[in-house]
Structures are given as C-alpha cells and as structure tokens.
C-alpha cells in the first residue's frame, strides 16, 4: 500500500504541478544538507524517504526548506493547495486535480453519486446540547453528516475539520487509530495508516465530504463527530478565498454569487429569509382563498405600468414581443373570467436604470379581489407586511440601516395633498385646472425654497399637464424621502392613476394608495377601474401624452447633449391593449388590486442597503 501511495503521489505531482527534485539539482536550495529527510504529506500523502526533497510548482521552488524539515515542505505545499497562497490559481487547480486522480487510483470516486446523510449540524447541536465536556454519546449513536470543509488542522495523529452544511457548522474529530477504509476494524495497521494519510494528503478546504461516526464533546466543549469513515464526495479544484481576507470585492461577490454564499454566511441567510418571506405571503393568501395563477411573460402589448419594456422577436411567429412590465392586465382578465381572488408572485422586466433600489429584473406580488376596494387592499397590505416580518423572525420594532422602524403600530394614513401641505404649506388643490400655470410657478418657487430644484424636478413641473401632475412632482421631491415610518399615502391625483377608479367623494383624486417605508414605495393599490369606456379614454390620453413627451425630448436632444439619454429612454412605443379593453366590455366586477415589491420588502426585513444583496443573481454591467 505504501509503495502504491508513493507511486501515485509522484505521478500526481509530475502531472499536475511540476516536479519533486532531490537536493542539489536546483540552484535555489543547493545548500540543503543531503542528510535531511523531508516527507510532504500535504501533497503526496506518502512520498517519504527522499533526501532533501523539495516541491516545485510551475518551475519555481515552493519549499523554503530551512534545514530540510518536514514542516517546511508541508507549509510550502499548504501555500499551494490549502488556504492563503502566493501561487497562482492555475497552479493550485493543477495540484487539486492531481489529488482527485489520487483518489481514483485508490479506488475511490472523488465525485460521488450520493451519500446517506442522517443529520444536519443544527439537529446534532440541538439533540446533544446536554452532552458534557469530555464525554461521548452512547455507542449506538451513529450519524452520517455531509458538507463543505471550511477549516482543517492536523496535530500529530489527530485532525480537526470544520464542516459546513446548510444549517450551520460542526467539527469533525479524526483520530488516526479509528479512521479506516471499508470494513476495517480499526487499529494502527496499514489500512488505518493509509486512510489517515489519504485524508491528510487529499482533503483541502473547500472539499465536500461525508463523515460517519459517533458523537463526542471535546474537553473544550466543542460538539464533534468522532469520525470512523471519511468519504470524499466532491473534490474542489479551486481554492476558497483567503480565510483572513475573505471575499471583500463587491463586484466579485455579485458576479460569483455561489462563492459569496459559501464564504459569507450572511448572504446565504438573507436568501433563506427571502424564501421564507415569499412562502409566508403565499401561505397567507392561499389560506385567505386566493388562487395563485401564472400569466404570460412574453406579451404582444406591454401594459399595467408605464415603463420601457425589453423587446424580443419570435422567429416562428415572425413577430415582435415584449417581456412583461406588470402582471396586472392578465390577472384582471381572470376576474372577468369568473375567478374571485387571484394573485401572482413573479418576475417583472423593465428596461430601465440600475441603482441600489432598482434592478431591471425584479419580483412583485400582484393580488386582485372581486367585490373589494382599495380599503380592503390597505388592510391586506398591512397584514402581509407583518406576516413577512414574522417569517423573517424580525421584531415588530426593528432597525434598518441604523434607523428605528415600527411595524407594530397601526400604519400612518394621510392623503398626498395633506403631506405636501404639511411639508410646504401649500394646498395645491386650491388651484383649478384653469390655474395650472399659477400652480407651476408656485411649485417651482417651493422647490427652490426647499433647495430641491434639480433640473429634472423643474422640468417635471414645466411639463406637467395637470395640477395633479404638479402635486405629484412636489410630493416626490419634498415629501417622499421623509416617509421613514410605514405610511399609507392616499388619494393620488386621478390624472396620474389611469387604472384606478375616481374617488367616490372627490373626482380629482383616485381611490388609490401607496405604502412608503424608509422613504421607498413598497406597495401600490387601487379600487380598480371597471368602466370600459372610461378606461379606453384614459389609455388613449396616456398614449397622446407619451407621444408628446417623446417628441419634445427628441427636439431637446438636437439642442442639448444632456437630453440625449433621456430621449433614448423614452423612444419605446406605448400601444393600446385592445384585447384587455374588450375583456372589460364583457364585465369586470368591482375589485381591489394591490402590487407589492418583494425585493424592497426583503431589503427592509434583512437590513440590506442594496437590492443586489437580496437577489441571488442580480444584473451587472
């Protein structure tokens, strides 16, 4: 067996890494005493007995063989295949591929098909929480655990490894006397020696292994699996980031998210929390009699929101299609078809900017209930936020980026006009539509006084086609960011709410609300417009306004380079969805509808500063 180990080690080193040379054949360490004997267990696991041997990787000496000690070569090889390393990634990959081949030569597949895991680490910590230090569990307590090795340390005839699985960590306690292959009975014989040597030589940080054994708690109180058998399940051929520096490159964290999940537990925890939140929302709606439906992602006409769509082409149909920018219009078609309560949690695609709050591909909940109105949606929204917080194990009084947020108290309710007047002292509804220019002048003065008169804000006021548009612009610039505590903003201008019914007591505003938390829109809801004639008229007005705005931006772009980007962003077409209007003509029952941004809610409940942190694989440049 020992000779086999030596042969495979020598072959693996030559194939994968470079060469192992005796002293005197390399000028970089020619002064090493020929009597020095070095055993490089970390790489070859059995290449012993060479006088003054040193390890060469990629043509360079990697062994600072001070005095020809075993530790010198072992340390040098650890730099190649373990954690922190001065060698290149290609060199480390070559060494690890050689180790995988070594397992094959030993008759073991380094890429196993399965493993009969019986416990997660979290289960074992709970089950044996009362086990005293320095004691072992009953002999019949045999467990099988599996996971990734995150740390390893060999001390003489003992080895300690930190195994990470989906629930946490547990230590592997490996005694050379007990570790064996197959059905060996233990004892320090050739079989156990080779098993320990193979472990010592072949297992690196990052490998996925399976371990069988009993349970013990060390004298220092560390619950451990007392390993009898260790099985290589997946040999990692690339090393994890240096344990001291971690994965700190933000762009690399997002681009290689799988690596971020391995080394940063908080990343994995955020995504687990996200899954729990979505599951809890889904369960709450299901128990409330809502049916989860699926609507098309590829659409003939984009609708349900005002946003630039992604455009694609269907070869067989020979037609242009767009990715959906909302699920609203198809879910309403389902109400027309006779479903009373429907919802969809799905991906939305908008070909717009990227920021800490915006990703072109995001997840939304849209829910619609026949015979309900926006008041019912308001109560549902508040309830779902608290359900999500409970699923995320958040207290109702939580902190977001250092700011205290109270989800337990009833959410504040105020109209948009009230909030603007509270901030600016101006009641914009005192202006009639005939006084639009006066309202614009008042708004521009207000923005300058508040020192928020950006070119974009002033342009928005100047382009406003109604007092409602002026009010909304002032709200966005002066009020929105101040809504830190959960606040329902009610009664938006009807002119900016083309899918909402007019308020039953004030025709200038809509039966609509938006929920703001930490200055961000989190939800949006209406009493849904069901009058097909009114809906057609509003859609047509929206198209006219869009075309006018697009023409103005094109003209501005010819005079001002700064306007080119905005003009480009508005070059998309807005078309009338005739099929949706036809569906309304068959009769849409009175209904309330609500859309909630899943990503922003998860950001809040996981204290995440960027939307990229809560999306597993965000879009990057």
**Whole-number Å distance between alpha carbons of 252 and 389:** 30
For residues 264-286, give the mean pLDDT.
Answer: 96
Q: Which helix (H) or strand (E) holds 326?
A: none
More confident residue, 462 or 564: 462
Q: Both 190 and 337 in a single domain? A: no
With cut-offs at 50, 70 and 90, classify the pLDDT of residue 33. Answer: very low
With cut-offs at 50, 70 and 90, classify the pLDDT of residue 490. Answer: very high
Q: Both 359 and 273 in a single domain? A: yes
**Is 326 within the bounds of a domain?**
yes
Range with lowest mean pLDDT among 4-18, 22-36, 248-262 = 22-36
pLDDT score, position 192: 60
With cut-offs at 50, 70 and 90, classify the pLDDT of residue 27. Answer: very low
With cut-offs at 50, 70 and 90, classify the pLDDT of residue 562. Answer: low
Tokens at 146, concatenated? 């599996």
**Is 508 within the bounds of a domain?**
no
Q: Both 76 and 216 in a single domain? A: no
pLDDT in tens, 96-110: 999 999 999 999 999
Domain boundary residue, one of 204, 234, 264: 234
**Residue % of the chain over a pLDDT of 70:** 81
8 A C-beta contact, residue 525 and residue 384:
no
**Is 244 within the bounds of a domain?**
no
**Is 341 within the bounds of a domain?**
yes
CATH of residue 216's domain is 2.40.50.140
pLDDT in tens, 191-247: 566 899 999 999 999 999 999 999 999 999 999 999 999 999 999 999 998 754 556
Q: Both 153 and 212 in a single domain? A: yes
With cut-offs at 50, 70 and 90, classify the pLDDT of residue 150. Answer: very high
pLDDT in tens, 503-545: 999 999 999 999 999 999 999 999 999 999 999 999 999 898 8
**Is 386 within the bounds of a domain?**
yes
**Is 287 within the bounds of a domain?**
yes
Q: Both 223 and 273 in a single domain? A: no
pLDDT score, position 154: 96
pLDDT in tens, 290-338: 999 999 999 999 888 888 999 999 999 999 999 999 999 999 999 999 9
Q: Both 322 and 369 in a single domain? A: yes
pLDDT score, position 206: 96
pLDDT score, position 563: 58
CATH of residue 380's domain is 3.30.930.10
**Whole-number Å distance between alpha carbons of 209 and 211:** 7
Domain boundary residue, one of 199, 234, 269: 234
Q: Both 294 and 224 in a single domain? A: no
pLDDT score, position 183: 36
pLDDT score, position 57: 36
**Is 566 within the bounds of a domain?**
no
Q: Both 84 and 152 in a single domain? A: no
For residues 604-612, give the mean pLDDT.
Answer: 96
pLDDT at 259 over 70: yes
8 A C-beta contact, residue 177 and residue 187:
yes
Tokens at 371, concatenated? 């015979």
Q: Could you tell me the CA-to-CA distances from 150 to 32, 232, 257, 431, 466 in Å, in that order?
A: 35, 14, 17, 67, 62
> Domain span at residue 209?
121-234
**Residue % of the chain over a pLDDT of 90:** 70
For residues 343-347, give the mean pLDDT.
Answer: 97
pLDDT at 39 over 80: no
Q: Both 225 and 185 in a single domain? A: yes
Range with lowest mean pLDDT among 61-70, 264-273, 416-425 = 61-70
For residues 453-458, give the mean pLDDT.
Answer: 89
Q: What is the pTM of this model?
A: 0.83
Q: Both 218 and 271 in a single domain? A: no
**Whole-number Å distance between alpha carbons of 93 and 500:** 60
pLDDT in tens, 74-103: 333 344 344 444 578 899 999 999 999 999
8 A C-beta contact, residue 12 and residue 202:
no
8 A C-beta contact, residue 363 and residue 347:
yes
pLDDT in tens, 588-607: 999 999 999 999 999 999 99
Longest dimension (CA), the chain: 103
* Bridge partners, 476 (sequence order): none
The domain tally of the chain equals 3
Tokens at 375, concatenated? 């008041």
Q: Both 280 and 319 in a single domain? A: yes
**Is 46 within the bounds of a domain?**
yes
8 A C-beta contact, residue 322 and residue 332:
no
With cut-offs at 50, 70 and 90, classify the pLDDT of residue 42. Answer: very low
pLDDT at 144 over 60: yes
8 A C-beta contact, residue 138 and residue 95:
no
Q: Both 279 and 394 in a single domain? A: yes
With cut-offs at 50, 70 and 90, classify the pLDDT of residue 189. Answer: low
For residues 370-384, give the mean pLDDT.
Answer: 98
Q: Could you tell me the CA-to-CA distances from 569 to 338, 352, 548, 563 in Å, in that order?
A: 38, 8, 14, 10
């Amino acid at each position: 067996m020992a000779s086999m180990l030596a042969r495979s080690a020598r072959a693996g080193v030559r194939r994968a890494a470079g060469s192992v040379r005796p002293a005197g054949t390399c000028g970089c360490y020619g002064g090493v005493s020929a009597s020095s004997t070095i055993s490089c267990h970390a790489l070859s696991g059995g290449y012993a007995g060479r006088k003054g041997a040193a390890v060469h990787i990629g043509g360079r000496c990697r062994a600072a063989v001070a005095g020809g000690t075993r530790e010198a070569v072992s340390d040098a090889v650890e730099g190649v295949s373990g954690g922190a390393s001065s060698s290149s990634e290609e060199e480390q990959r070559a060494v690890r591929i050689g180790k995988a081949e070594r397992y094959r030569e030993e008759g073991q597949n380094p890429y196993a098909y399965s493993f009969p895991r019986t416990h997660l680490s979290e289960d074992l910590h709970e089950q044996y929480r009362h086990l005293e230090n320095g004691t072992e569990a009953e002999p019949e307590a045999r467990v099988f655990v599996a996971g990734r090795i995150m740390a390893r340390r060999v001390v003489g005839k003992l080895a300690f490894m930190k195994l990470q699985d989906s629930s946490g960590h547990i230590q592997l306690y490996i005694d050379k006397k007990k570790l064996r292959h197959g059905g060996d009975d233990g004892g320090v014989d050739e079989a156990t020696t080779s098993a320990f040597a193979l472990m010592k030589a072949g297992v690196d940080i990052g490998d996925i292994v399976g371990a069988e054994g009993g349970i013990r708690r060390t004298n220092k109180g560390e619950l451990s699996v007392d390993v009898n058998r260790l099985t290589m399940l997946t040999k990692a051929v690339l090393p994890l980031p240096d344990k001291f520096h971690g994965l700190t490159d933000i762009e690399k964290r997002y681009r290689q998210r799988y690596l971020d999940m391995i080394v940063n537990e908080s990343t994995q925890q955020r995504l687990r929390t996200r899954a729990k939140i979505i599951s809890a929302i889904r369960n709450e709606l299901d128990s409330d009699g809502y049916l989860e439906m699926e609507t098309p992602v590829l659409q003939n006409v984009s609708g349900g929101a005002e946003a630039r769509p992604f455009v694609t082409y269907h070869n067989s149909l020979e037609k242009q299609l767009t990715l959906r920018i909302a699920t609203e219009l198809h879910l309403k078609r389902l109400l027309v078809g006779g479903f009373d309560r429907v919802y969809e949690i799905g991906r939305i695609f908008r070909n717009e900017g990227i920021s800490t709050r915006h990703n072109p591909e995001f997840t939304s909940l849209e829910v619609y209930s026949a015979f309900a109105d926006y008041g019912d949606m308001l109560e549902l929204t508040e309830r779902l936020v608290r359900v999500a917080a409970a699923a995320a194990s958040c207290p109702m009084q939580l902190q977001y980026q250092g700011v205290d947020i109270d989800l337990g108290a009833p959410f504040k309710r105020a109209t948009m006009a009230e909030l603007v007047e509270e901030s600016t002292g101006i009641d914009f509804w005192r202006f009639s539509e005939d006084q639009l220019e006066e309202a614009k002048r008042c708004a521009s003065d207000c923005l300058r006084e508040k020192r928020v008169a950006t070119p974009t804000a002033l342009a928005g006021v100047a382009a406003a086609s109604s007092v409602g548009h002026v009010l909304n612009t002032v709200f966005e610039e002066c009020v929105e960011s101040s809504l830190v505590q959960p606040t329902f903003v009610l009664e938006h201008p009807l002119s900016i709410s083309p899918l909402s019914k007019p308020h039953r007591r004030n025709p200038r505003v809509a039966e609509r609300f938006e929920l703001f938390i930490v200055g961000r829109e989190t939800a949006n809801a209406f009493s849904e417009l069901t009058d097909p004639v009114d809906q057609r008229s509003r859609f047509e007005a929206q198209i006219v306004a869009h075309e006018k705005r697009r023409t103005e931006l094109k003209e501005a772009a010819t005079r001002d380079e700064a306007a080119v980007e905005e003009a480009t962003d508005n070059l998309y077409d807005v078309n009338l969805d005739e099929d949706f209007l036809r569906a309304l003509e068959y009769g849409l029952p009175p209904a309330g509808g609500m859309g909630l941004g899943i990503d922003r809610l998860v950001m809040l409940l996981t204290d995440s500063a960027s939307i990229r942190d809560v999306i597993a694989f965000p879009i990057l440049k």
